Amino acid sequence: MADISADFLGIKSPNPFWLASAPPTDKKVNVLRAFEAGWGGVVWKTLGSQIKNVSSRYSSVDYHGSRMMGFNNIELISDRPLDLNLKEIRECVRLFPDRAMIVSLMADNNRESWHELIKQVEDTGAHGLELNFGCPHGMTERGMGAAVGQDPEIARMVVEWVMEAATIPVITKLTPNVHSVVPTGRAAVQAGSDALSLINTIQSVTGVNLDTFVPNPNVGGQSTFGGYCGPAVKPIALKMLTTISQDPVTSRVPVSGIGGITTWKDAVEFMLLGATTLQVCTAAMKYGFRIIEDMCEGLNNWMDEKGFKTINDFIGKSVPTLTHWEELDINYHIVANINQEKCIHCGLCYISCEDGSHQAINLSYGNPYNTYAIKEDECVGCNLCKLVCPVDNCITMVEQRKGPEYLNWKEFQRRGLPLNDH
């Protein structure tokens, strides 16, 4: 059995899975249920000046019969009294001392408000603070949330205020609603933030109701941009995480990864690209806290299979393999191969290649089953046929190098090698 416990700036949790700051972590009853289910930690829903929420609040994107492939919300920070939140945080820490208790904060934009809030939260016994510089809706109109995270200099200033008061570890949560998360990440680290977390939600419109003509979610005939999350945003989160892991400044601090994590496999991918802990929200909102069981068991079994004793053995392992396009080996060449034994003759590889790629699959007519074969000379090794094939391992990509040595684009150009002639 591998050891899946996490140590994040000294904040220990029995597993690296935390619940992200959101409705599942906004009160004691939820959080206790989450801890009972086995979650390693929580980031308590953002505290600040008490606000009022609207109804409705969520909307989603369904895909091919599956609900909530993407999810968005227009809910603001906690709308409960601060004192009540603080009292419940204290009780949760007392009842589950082995779990990580991070509290998300979004104070009004002045030093005193931040100092006061931090002092009150530290009094609860919480283990860490997460600065919400990411919330993309509502709070931004008041100069908070993403409005802070989108401007590195404002972020730097606020982190400095925080670091003046904080005695427990501080995590700065980054907004993805920027061309790059690195500038704000750097500013936060340079201002003393102990760690980073990303991504927050992405500004979005999930869809428009074709009967009412009002976009989702509908609040009395109007809508507003919501924060997008769920499985749909994972690829964007992984890319942003990688840029943080590769930057010489931001890579100095540990990262808590967020963005569409639904299974242990998603979690491992975030860890391979540099995350130490993982934060989950949409999946728990959809299925409930019970999903933690397979997340832990799956991670454990995978680590055993790969021979990893602790999570530190593989965190960041895939980061060096992500490089610039011009470093890629042009001599590396693969061609598709269709296993005729496994083929079910659906024709999806053929039509995708014919209409969408490089016309490299031959169709031999049959009634009712056509036969499909790769034209190896035409195949550029794009993977499309393999991606659309509904049968696992029916289409495989076989390596057929164009030359023995590593040859990248810069070298290719330097030598004046010939480009395609058709």
Which residue ranges make up the site for other proteins (CB under 8 A)? Answer: 64-65, 344-348, 350-351, 363, 367-370, 390-391
Least distance between other proteins and beta carbon 257 (Å): 31
Q: Between the CA atoms of 335, 339, 340 and 346, what dihedral angle is there, to the nearest 10 degrees?
A: -80
Q: Of 92, 135, 281, 353, which one is the catalytic site residue?
A: 135
Active-site annotation holds for 135: yes
| Coil/strand/helix, residue 234 | helix
Which of 194, 172, 167 shows the shortest CA–CA distance to 183? 172
Smallest distance from other proteins to CB 366, Å: 9
Strand pairing category for 41-47 and 371-374: unpaired
Pick between residue 232 and residue 272 the one whose CB is nearest to other proteins.
232
Report in angstroms the alpha-carbon separations of 162 from 107, 159, 185. Answer: 10, 5, 15
Of 219 and 346, the one with the shorter C-beta distance to other proteins is: 346
In the bound complex, what is the minimum distance in angstroms from residue 354's beta carbon to other proteins?
9
144 to 41, 55, 135, 242, 383: CA distances (angstroms): 26, 22, 8, 26, 44
Least distance CB 274 / other proteins (angstroms): 36
Whichever of 125 and 347 has its CB closer to other proteins, that residue is 347
If the CB atoms of residues 344 and 398 are measured against other proteins, the closer one turns out to be: 344
Query: Whose structure tokens read 């989160």?
Result: 237
Nearer residue to other proteins within complex by CB, 334 or 351: 351
**CA-CA-CA-CA dihedral for 31, 34, 40, 41, to nearest 10:** -20
Give least dist CB 392 to other proteins, A: 10
Q: What is the rounded distance in angstroms from the CA atom of residue 274 to the CA atom of residue 264?
A: 15
Helix pair 182-190, 234-246: axis angle to 10 deg:
50
Of 218 and 370, the one with the shorter C-beta distance to other proteins is 370
Burial class of residue 64 in the structure, from the number of CB atoms within 10 Å of its CB (0-12 exposed, 13-18 middle, 19+ buried)? exposed
DSSP string, 97-130: TTSEEEEEE---SSHHHHHHHHHHHHTTT-SEEE
CB of 357 to other proteins, least distance (A): 14
Omega prior to 199 cis, within 30 of 0: yes
Nearer to other proteins, 248 or 368 (CB): 368
In the complex, least distance from residue 359 CB atom to other proteins, rounded to whole angstroms: 14
User: What angle (nearest 5°) sits at the alpha carbon of residue 384, between those of residues 382 and 390?
Assistant: 145
The length of the chain in residues reads 422
Note whether 278 and 17 are within 8 A (CB). Answer: yes
Least distance in angstroms from the C-beta of 232 to other proteins:
18
Could you write out the DSSP letters of every residue in 65-98? TEEEEEEEE---S--S-HHHHHHHHHHHHHH-TT
Nearest residue (CB) to other proteins, 163 versus 348: 348
Provide the annotated active-site residues: 135
